[in-house]
């Protein structure tokens, strides 16, 4: 019996899409929250003028991401400290920013100008320019 109850619970958790909500009751259905107002602002193609790493992106990554994504930070195992780091993780970075998952809750969100610059630069292929 115990194992059946446990696997049912695990199925329910899986059905919730693995969101990081701690389920407290079975009746509360106020949604999973988080990215409720996340804009769908991904450019369809490389914008003109193209944002550049050195002018538009590096300072934002350094100020808003490397706080945690660097040695000693909360995500030190996924460093984002220079172009090579960001380039290596560029598709995950795009996903996380576009889905408004990074910066995480508790850290202030990117401004729309910051989002547009990083997303545009990633769509351009994340060059070291
Ligand atoms: C407050 C600390 C913090 C800040 C600020 C932060 N992150 Fe994170 N990030 C984390 C932690 C912790 C994880 C690991 C979470 C996990 O594995 O579930 C993570 C995971 C990630 C991942 C990996 C997700 C995956 O697919 O495994 C990416 C990519 C990422 N962050 C990008 C960014 C970017 C880009 C920024 C800046 C816009 C940023 N993060 C800002 C703490 C932070």
Residue with CA nearest ligand 1 atom 23 = 92
Contact 51, 120 (CB under 8 A): yes
Q: How many whole angstroms from 68 Cα to the centroid of ligand 1? A: 7
CA atoms 83, 104, 41, 18: torsion sign: positive
The reported pLDDT for the residue numbered 36 is 60
Three-point CA angle 107, 62, 89, nearest 5°: 90
Give the pLDDT confidence score for residue 4 in this predicted structure. Answer: 43
Going residue by residue through the chain, which has 129 residues, state the pLDDT in tens, using 9 for 90 and above.
444 444 333 333 333 333 333 333 333 333 344 456 899 999 999 999 999 999 999 999 999 999 999 999 999 999 999 999 999 999 999 999 999 999 999 999 999 999 999 999 999 999 999
**Distance from residue 102's CA to the centre of ligand 1 (Å):** 6
Pick the atom of ligand 1 nearest to 64's CA: 37
Ligand 1, pocket-test mutation among 35, 53, 96, most atoms within 8 A of CB = 96
76 lines ligand 1 (CB under 6 A): no
70 lines ligand 1 (CB under 6 A): no
């Amino acid at each position: 019996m115990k194992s059946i109850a446990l696997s049912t619970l695990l199925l329910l958790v899986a059905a919730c899409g693995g969101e990081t909500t701690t389920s407290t009751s079975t009746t509360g259905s106020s949604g999973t929250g988080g990215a409720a107002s996340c804009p769908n602002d991904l450019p369809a193609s490389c914008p003109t003028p193209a944002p550049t790493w050195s002018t538009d992106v590096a300072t934002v990554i350094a100020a808003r991401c490397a706080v945690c994504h660097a040695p000693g930070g909360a995500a030190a195992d996924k460093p984002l400290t220079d172009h090579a780091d960001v380039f290596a993780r560029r598709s995950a970075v795009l996903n996380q920013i576009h889905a408004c998952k990074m910066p995480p809750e508790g850290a202030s969100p990117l401004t729309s100008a910051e989002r547009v610059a990083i997303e545009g630069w990633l769509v351009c292929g994340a060059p070291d320019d």
